[in-house]
Amino acid sequence: MEHEITRAEIDELSKKLADQGKIIEAGFVGMRLMLIPADAPQAQIDDMEAAFMGGAQHLFASIMAILDPDADPTPADLRRMDLISRELAAYAERLKVRAYGRPQ
């Protein structure tokens, strides 16, 4: 019998991945395994990844724009947000190389 994952296990895994700066990439990998055929062409995979990461970037920028300026985040909150920001910035650079053949 297979073990059914609990909400607590999902939450714990999400925190661990966020602390490693890979939660968004892990989300894409999960989506890819569920939605993209194993024999899909690389161009399709790249386009799906660009759409996924573009959505993540939009959401992150929106969150940053609407945060209360007087609220005090915890050090762990700040670290996780920084890791997400770095992950998205690194992906944006990869997209620029793909689009322009070099970093911009």
Percentage of the chain lying above the pLDDT 90 cut: 23
* Domain assignment of residue 2, yes or no: no
pLDDT number for residue 58: 93
> Does residue 24 contact residue 87 with C-beta atoms inside 8 Å?
yes
* Domain assignment of residue 1, yes or no: no
- Token pair listed for 11: 């939450």
Domain count, the chain: 1
Q: Specify the 3-state DSSP secondary structure of 38.
A: coil
Could you tell me which of 47, 49, 40 has the C-alpha nearest to residue 87?
49
Residue numbers of the chain with a pLDDT score lower than 50: 1-2
Structural domain boundaries, residue 73: 7-100
Convert the pLDDT of each residue in 19-37 to its tens digit.
899 889 888 887 887 778 8
pLDDT number for residue 94: 85
